[in-house]
Amino acid sequence: MSQSTRSNVLRPALMLGGVVVVAVGAIAFWLQGGRIVSVDDAMIDAAKLPVSTDVSGIVAAIAVHEGQSVHQGDLLFRLDDTPFRIARDSARADLAQTVLDVTAMKRDYLRLLHAAGVAVAKVESDQASFNRYANLVRGGSVTQSDYDDARFRLAADQQDLERLRADADAQLARLNGNPDIAPADTPIYQRARARLDEAERQLAHTAVYAPFDGIVTQVEAVQPGMYLAAATAAFALVGTADVWAEGNPKETELTHLKPGQKVTLSVDTYPGQTWQGEVESIAPATGSQFSVLPAQNTSGNWVKVVQRVPLRVRIAPRQDAPDLRAGMSVVLDIDTGHVRSLHDLF
């Protein structure tokens, strides 16, 4: 076979073989892929708290400085507690006065019962005198004037008896129907007790403590002598005890993603270093659903856009690892464990 003929035979064979090799290589590469989902728009996140309190007052002292690490329970700042201590002492005095008032009400109730008993005896005496005068007036033994005096005296004493009984009933009602009630069981005591509890709560809230471990920042925003209104943020506290990564993979990448899958994290700030973690949760809705103006698919001119679904990755702690700070950019490589097959291709 001539050289020309051999070239004409080998050229198509080589071309076809090259196509086959490329196709086989592409299929093999595709079969090996699809296991790792890479999310390159993730970032480190942590608990962030605008430190504030629910009472208003003058800032008396700042116990921390910018960038200071604090532990849970450490004092952050304190308001001037003078007016709050005065309010607490006043509430305590009101509570003590309430106990005295209840004791006086119980004694007054007993006094009214005794007075009513005396009034009953007086009415009975008046009734006996009236009956006797009624018999004597017919025979002329007493004058009509004496008879009228006895009648009016009986009516007046009967009214006094009814008044005393009404006063006793009213006093008993103030004692919740129980003349032997303990002061602590009365509504007026409980109201005074609630006022004291509220005063003590407000006094306690003049001192603000760290609710978790973290680092304080923007401390210069508040200074001693400044009036701080209730619920106004003094400065910020960023948590360090628990940090995580937030990612937003495309909805088309969620096919095989599940909570619990292993994740390798690469932080842009620390090239060459990696952290390990796992998928903690996947949001039940896309990010656009939480926007101020979510997309309306019923408008008639809707354009389909690939949505992104937030997920959270729990980061395993590392010994002697550099600090991970909220907002740092991260790349997440999620191992889904999925293995492609030719069935997926065809």
Each residue's pLDDT expressed in tens, for the chain with a length of 346 residues: 555 665 665 666 666 766 666 665 655 554 455 678 889 989 999 999 999 999 999 999 999 999 999 999 999 999 999 999 999 999 999 999 999 999 999 999 999 999 999 999 998 888 888 888 788 777 777 778 887 888 898 899 899 999 999 999 999 998 889 999 999 999 999 999 999 999 999 999 999 999 999 999 999 999 999 999 999 999 999 998 888 999 999 998 888 899 999 999 999 999 989 999 999 999 998 877 777 666 666 666 667 788 899 999 999 988 888 888 899 999 999 998 876 655 655 5
Burial label for 206, CB within 10 Å (0-12, 13-18, 19+), is buried
Per-residue pLDDT, 249: 92
The answer to whether 42 and 313 have CB atoms below 8 angstroms apart is yes
Sheet holding 57-62, edge to edge: 207-209, 75-79, 57-62, 227-228
Query: If you ran DSSP here, which 8-state letter would residue 255 be given?
Result: T
User: Nearest 5°: CA angle at 191, between 189 and 192?
Assistant: 65
What is the enclosing helix (H) or strand (E) of 166?
A: helix 144-174
The answer to whether 51 and 159 have CB atoms below 8 angstroms apart is no
The phi and psi torsions of 339 (rounded to 5 degrees) equal -115, 125
What is the CB neighbour count within 10 angstroms for residue 231? 11
Given the structure tokens 């899958």, which residue do they identify? 261
Burial label for 163, CB within 10 Å (0-12, 13-18, 19+), is middle
Nearest Cα neighbor of 309 from 252, 270, 244 is 252
CATH number of the structural domain 82-203: 1.20.58
Looking only at Cα atoms, what is the longest distance across the chain? 176
Q: Which two tokens stand for residue 156?
A: 């007046």
DSSP string, 28-48: HHHHH-SSEEEEEEEEEEEEE
Query: If you ran DSSP here, which 8-state letter would residue 183 be given?
Result: G
126, 130, 131, 137 alpha-carbon torsion, rounded to 10°: 160
Domain with CATH 2.40.30.170 in the chain: 34-77+219-345
Cα–Cα distance for residue pair 326/217, rounded to 1 Å: 13
The partner residues of 69 in beta bridges, in order of sequence, read: 215
CATH number of the structural domain 34-77+219-345: 2.40.30.170
Per-residue pLDDT, 320: 84
Q: Which two tokens stand for residue 137?
A: 């007036």
Burial label for 39, CB within 10 Å (0-12, 13-18, 19+), is buried
The answer to whether 165 and 116 have CB atoms below 8 angstroms apart is yes
Per-residue pLDDT, 298: 63
Q: What's the number of CA atoms in the CB half-sphere (13 Å) around residue 189?
A: 16
Domain with CATH 1.20.58 in the chain: 82-203
Amino acid at 286: T
Per-residue pLDDT, 36: 81
pTM: predicted TM-score of the whole model, two decimal places: 0.71
